[in-house]
A and B are shown apart, each in its own frame.
Chain A
């Protein structure tokens, strides 16, 4: 957490420059979205709508929650934001961390990096916050910390779910030859009530994902939330009670090498000499 604070303070200078006028120069770049990293790793029959949603032809729905799960429950929280707008239950989706990518940059982690308290709503504080948010895009740090993940994801993740849902509805309207306005969604399916016809998300995913994302993404009214704002079961609980290999220490890669830090058994004492001759002879 301290290192996040340090990085943020250092980048504050860049942030101040951005506020002072640098933003205009890079505005086009800032508006341009990063490429979707999921394109590169789709399975057979899978289609991706944006960096947060993949849907398979078999209607397997995968949500990417690209923050480090440390027990704070962020993988569940972020998945719920997408699931809410996508109109699927949390038990119907697979949640993955996804690849490392600039697309998953955390803007909010820097927003509070300025020398202001979070409750400071002065114009300077707000200007620096928005400036640092822009810097977040340029630095594109995929970071978890500073209680930023929920704030960063709240709009982004809901928009990802809502955009995918709108594209699925548009594809279904085309396929069924009906008006999009007459279609409803529930639990991973699209329903045309007047005719009683329905399609799974998976059945139209490939066509839907090839469509242009909606220019205007409509988010649900708070009153219509089914999942958000309500307690949820953690998606990682089963793995954690069965001893599944989900921790860094459990990762095994081919030809993995192991290293360790040799430290003094006493506090504050520095090494006087080190014989590295045997280590240096090792071949890797």
Chain B
């Protein structure tokens, strides 16, 4: 089976029923996306398939028809995505376990809506839970990221 992840092509030997998250973490070595609940209820495993946010813990790898992007593919420590930059500046994370998923949902939101309202943010981010309760900083970071993106940074 071939899978394109973060712009790179991988040949993997996986049961088509294997959740995409396991293929990413265990077979390809992309440990950025996290295992949280395993039932698509928390959002820690969020990655993009052709730009759309999906819960990789519950998506069989055999059903993936498109390029996969993980947190490791949107930016690097030396060259952060505007959303990562905003997350850094707003000091969003506490334990950080959910944040890869939060960031991927936020990236997808800003690709759709350049200047999201509070309601847009609530709608797009409602499926990403944070037990540390970093929601207020997530909201301000999304607004900062929107400004950074508009300014072309």
Which applies to chain B's interface (DSSP): helix, strand, loop or mixed? loop
Once A237-B88, A238-B88 are accepted as A-B contacts, the answer to whether A243 and B93 lie under 8 Å apart by CB is no
Once A71-B132, A250-B31 are accepted as A-B contacts, the answer to whether A241 and B88 lie under 8 Å apart by CB is yes
Taking a contact as CB atoms under 8 Å apart, the answer to whether A242 and B76 are in contact is yes
Once A247-B34, A249-B35, A250-B31 are accepted as A-B contacts, the answer to whether A241 and B87 lie under 8 Å apart by CB is yes
B99 within 8 A of A: yes
Give the distance to chain B from A246, nearest Cβ to Cβ, in Å.
Answer: 8
Q: What separation, in Å, do the CA atoms of A161 and B136 have in the docked complex?
A: 36
Residues of A within 8 A of B80 (CB): 241-242
Q: Which of B58-106 contact A (CB under 8 A)?
A: 70-72, 75-77, 80, 84, 87-88, 91-97, 99-100, 103
Once A71-B94, A71-B96, A247-B97 are accepted as A-B contacts, the answer to whether A241 and B34 lie under 8 Å apart by CB is no
Chain B: CB-nearest residue to A247: B97
Q: Which of B32, B71, B91, B103 contacts A234 (CB 8 A)?
A: B91
B33 within 8 A of A: yes
Taking a contact as CB atoms under 8 Å apart, the answer to whether B31 and A241 are in contact is no
Q: Identify the interface centre among A72, A239, A243: most chain B CB within 10 Å of its CB.
A: A243
Residues of A within 8 A of B103 (CB): 241
Give the distance to chain B from A94, nearest Cβ to Cβ, in Å.
Answer: 14
Taking a contact as CB atoms under 8 Å apart, the answer to whether A71 and B34 are in contact is no
Q: What separation, in Å, do the CA atoms of A72 and B93 have in the docked complex?
A: 10
Interface bits A229-255 vs B (CB < 8 Å: 1, else 0): 000011011111111111101100000
Residues of B within 8 A of A238 (CB): 77, 88
Interface bits B9-26 vs A (CB < 8 Å: 1, else 0): 000000000000000000
Q: What separation, in Å, do the CA atoms of A244 and B94 have in the docked complex?
A: 15
Taking a contact as CB atoms under 8 Å apart, the answer to whether B72 and A243 are in contact is yes
Residues of B within 8 A of A71 (CB): 93-96, 132
Give the distance to chain B from A248, nearest Cβ to Cβ, in Å.
Answer: 10
Taking a contact as CB atoms under 8 Å apart, the answer to whether A242 and B31 are in contact is no
Taking a contact as CB atoms under 8 Å apart, the answer to whether A240 and B96 are in contact is yes
Give the distance to chain A from B33, nearest Cβ to Cβ, in Å.
Answer: 7
Q: What separation, in Å, do the CA atoms of A239 and B93 have in the docked complex?
A: 10
Taking a contact as CB atoms under 8 Å apart, the answer to whether B31 and A245 are in contact is yes
Chain A: CB-nearest residue to B131: A71
Residues of A within 8 A of B92 (CB): 237, 241
Residues of A within 8 A of B97 (CB): 247
Residues of B within 8 A of A234 (CB): 91, 93
Q: What separation, in Å, do the CA atoms of A50 and B94 have in the docked complex?
A: 29
Q: Which of A37-79 contact B (CB under 8 A)?
A: 70-73
Taking a contact as CB atoms under 8 Å apart, the answer to whether A249 and B93 are in contact is no
Q: Which of B27-60 contact A (CB under 8 A)?
A: 31-35
Chain A: CB-nearest residue to B95: A71
Once A71-B132, A247-B34, A249-B35 are accepted as A-B contacts, the answer to whether A242 and B94 lie under 8 Å apart by CB is no
Q: Which of B34, B77, B95 contacts A242 (CB 8 A)?
A: B77
Q: What separation, in Å, do the CA atoms of A246 and B87 have in the docked complex?
A: 17
Chain B: CB-nearest residue to A258: B26
Q: Would you mind naming 17 contact pairs between A and B with Cβ atoms under 8 Å apart? A: A72-B94, A234-B93, A236-B93, A237-B87, A240-B96, A241-B80, A241-B84, A241-B87, A241-B93, A242-B32, A242-B76, A242-B77, A242-B80, A246-B96, A247-B96, A247-B97, A249-B31
| Chain A residues at the B interface, C-beta cutoff of 8 Å | 70-73, 233-234, 236-247, 249-250
